[in-house]
């Protein structure tokens, strides 16, 4: 049920100008329409609910104000409905019910907020806007984000994650359950104009005591003033078997043979897509994709994707 908040006005007081019978008639015990003197309605809230005390004994709840006419619910909070003559004082009060209802709604909102910030979701999450997670999020159902997903901490998916927008920031990500590749890092169309070794994409593997396997893909638009360069495109990770850093070049297929981006073979201008590369990284270590074009005037673009398999 939707909560309608109580409204308040300072010094809101008037008198009975009429009941259901119209102006000049008393407000009988069964009447639910209260007429105020002309112009007095503006003294009270224009919308929402508010409580009135009739005379000295009856409390009523106002559910609607139309100019100087009030729709009321009689005999509230343990009081009894009475008949009130014209001229009886009516005034807005802060009643026990209005306070208790407000506090109950705040408690319900706080509980709902806690269930979200507690980071455990056992149903499905679907949003057409932006999903922002500033803590750790555990999704036991399906996460479908048709927008941008910003993850400032750890995303754990025990189901399937579909992101049709962009991953703005990922520190760590874990995917289990279906065993399908989950996109955990993307660097799209990164412009490279320096001859120095450039980091295209880096991701920290979860420091959860478990080795995790990744699949990396990349493609290059190579366009420099000195074609035929020794292009370097590599993935760097820590091998859990040895604990040592491992640097492996990507490779691609040319029209004649397999070609490795190992910084020693000559590569001409053009677009190159790499073979997938699968590696297993030690927990808590970085998986990084790097690129280097030694030409004096590189104008290259690199896209890299990193999927988590386990």
CATH number of 181-310: 2.60.120
Least confidently predicted of 165-174, 230-239, 280-289:
165-174
pLDDT at 111 over 90: no
Secondary structure (DSSP) of 74-92: -S-TT-----B-TT-EEEE
For the chain, give the mean pLDDT.
80
- Residue 275 is given by DSSP the state P
pLDDT for residue 167: 42
Model confidence at 112, in pLDDT bands (50, 70, 90)? low
Q: What is the pLDDT of residues 187-218, one digit of tens each?
A: 888 888 888 999 999 888 988 899 999 989 89
Residues in contact with 64: Cβ distance below 8 Å, sequence separation at least 6, in sequence order = 70, 71
Q: What is the pLDDT of residues 259-305, one digit of tens each?
A: 788 888 788 888 888 889 999 999 999 999 999 988 877 888 999 99
Going by C-alpha positions, the residue among 237, 206, 221, 234 that lies closest to residue 303 is: 221
The residues pairing with 310 across neighbouring beta strands, listed in sequence order, are none
Least confidently predicted of 45-59, 71-85, 165-179, 238-252:
165-179
- Residue 224 is given by DSSP the state B
Instruction: Decide: residue 292, CB within 10 A, 0-12 exposed, 13-18 middle, 19+ buried.
Output: buried
Number of H helices, E strands in the chain: 1, 27
Instruction: Decide: residue 195, CB within 10 A, 0-12 exposed, 13-18 middle, 19+ buried.
Output: middle
Q: What are phi and psi of 114, to 5 degrees?
A: -65, -35
pLDDT for residue 176: 47
Tell me the range of 70-79, 171-180, 195-204 where mean pLDDT is highest.
70-79
Model confidence at 92, in pLDDT bands (50, 70, 90)? very high
More confident residue, 147 or 109: 109
pLDDT for residue 170: 41
pLDDT for residue 1: 56
Percentage of the residues of the chain whose pLDDT score is greater than 90: 41
Count of CB atoms situated within 10 Å of the CB of 210: 13
Domain ranges of the chain: 13-100, 118-179, 181-310
pLDDT for residue 298: 84
18: its two tokens: 């009429």
Tell me the range of 125-134, 139-148, 210-219 where mean pLDDT is highest.
210-219
The residues pairing with 125 across neighbouring beta strands, listed in sequence order, are 143
Under a CB-based contact definition with an 8 Å cutoff, are residues 306 and 237 in contact?
A: no
pLDDT for residue 159: 47
Mean per-residue pLDDT, 163-177: 42
205: its two tokens: 């593997």
Under a CB-based contact definition with an 8 Å cutoff, are residues 286 and 204 in contact?
A: yes
pLDDT for residue 129: 55
SS3 label, residue 242: coil
pLDDT at 70 over 90: yes
Under a CB-based contact definition with an 8 Å cutoff, are residues 234 and 249 in contact?
A: yes
Residues in contact with 17: Cβ distance below 8 Å, sequence separation at least 6, in sequence order = 23, 24, 35, 36, 37, 38, 40, 68, 86
pTM beyond 0.95: the answer is no
SS3 label, residue 189: strand
Residues in contact with 189: Cβ distance below 8 Å, sequence separation at least 6, in sequence order = 301, 302, 303
CA pair distance 70, 67, nearest whole angstrom: 8
Model confidence at 51, in pLDDT bands (50, 70, 90)? very high
More confident residue, 113 or 102: 102
pLDDT at 134 over 70: no
Mean per-residue pLDDT, 245-255: 81
Tell me the range of 60-69, 175-184, 227-236 where mean pLDDT is highest.
60-69
Q: What's the CA angle centered on 9, arms 8 and 13, to 5 degrees?
A: 115
4: its two tokens: 């309608």
Total count of residues recorded for the chain: 310
Q: Is 123 left (phi over 0), alpha (psi -120 to 50) or beta?
A: beta
């Amino acid at each position: 049920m939707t909560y309608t908040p109580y409204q308040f006005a300072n010094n809101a007081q008037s008198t009975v100008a009429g009941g259901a019978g119209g102006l000049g008639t008393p407000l009988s015990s069964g009447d639910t329409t209260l007429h105020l003197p002309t112009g007095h309605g503006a003294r009270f809230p224009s919308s929402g609910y508010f409580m009135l005390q009739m005379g000295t004994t009856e409390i009523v709840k106002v559910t609607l104000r139309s100019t100087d006419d009030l729709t009321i619910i009689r005999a509230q909070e343990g009081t009894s409905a009475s008949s009130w003559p014209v001229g009886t004082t009516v005034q807005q009060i802060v009643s026990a019910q209005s306070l208790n209802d407000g506090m109950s709604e705040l408690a319900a909102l706080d509980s709902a907020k806690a269930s979200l910030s507690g980071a455990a979701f056992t149903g499905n999450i679907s949003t057409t806007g932006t999903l922002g997670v500033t803590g750790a999020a555990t999704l036991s159902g399906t996460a479908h984000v048709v927008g941008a997903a910003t993850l400032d901490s750890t995303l754990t998916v025990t189901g399937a994650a579909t992101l049709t927008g962009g991953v703005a920031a990922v520190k760590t990500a874990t995917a289990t359950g279906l065993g399908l590749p989950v996109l955990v890092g993307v660097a799209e169309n990164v412009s490279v104009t320096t001859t120095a070794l450039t980091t295209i994409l880096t991701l920290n593997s979860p420091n959860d005591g478990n080795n995790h396997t990744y699949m990396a893909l990349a493609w290059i638009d190579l366009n420099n003033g000195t074609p035929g360069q020794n292009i370097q495109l590599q993935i760097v990770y820590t091998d859990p078997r040895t604990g040592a850093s491992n640097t492996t070049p990507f490779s691609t297929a040319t029209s004649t043979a397999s070609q490795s981006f190992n910084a020693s073979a000559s590569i001409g201008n053009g677009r190159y897509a790499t073979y997938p590369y699968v590696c297993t990284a030690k927990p808590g270590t970085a998986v990084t994709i790097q690129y280097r074009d030694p030409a004096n005037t590189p104008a290259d673009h690199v896209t890299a994707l990193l999927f988590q398999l386990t």
